[in-house]
Amino acid sequence: MHQPSCLKEPRLEAGALCTGRWWCILESEVHPPLKRTIQVRISKGDHQFVAECLDLPVVTQAATLDELAANIREAIGLHLEGEDLADLGFASNPTILATMELEAVA
């Protein structure tokens, strides 16, 4: 049976943390990759557009899509103000990715 080289010697391998003579932990298991996007779902309500953030507890609404875009930027900015983005699982300066839910055609 083949043993990974980090299990044979207590040295640091690329992409791994060797914590002792016989233990090896992949870097991705210790620190999962940070998200670069904040996902938002947009839907049309009875009278307004509604944006619901899928990654944060943020919801807002507006009469137009332009107003909604401004509202969601502001609401996410206020929610993240003073927070360490890495602690929340986000890379620095994440983008906002909005998906709009449309009515069925049939």
3-14 pLDDT per residue, tens = 454 544 445 445
CA–CA dist 9, 23 (Å, integer): 10
| pLDDT at residue 24, rounded to an integer | 55
| pLDDT at residue 1, rounded to an integer | 47
Name residue 87's amino acid.
Answer: D
**For 42-52, what is the mean pLDDT?**
94
| pLDDT at residue 47, rounded to an integer | 94
27 with 38: CB under 8 angstroms?
no
CA–CA dist 23, 40 (Å, integer): 40
CA–CA dist 14, 83 (Å, integer): 31
Count the neighbouring beta carbons within 10 Å of the beta carbon of residue 44.
13
- Domains of the chain, start order: 1-32 (no CATH), 35-100 (3.30.2390.10)
Question: pTM for the full model?
Answer: 0.66
CA–CA dist 69, 54 (Å, integer): 15
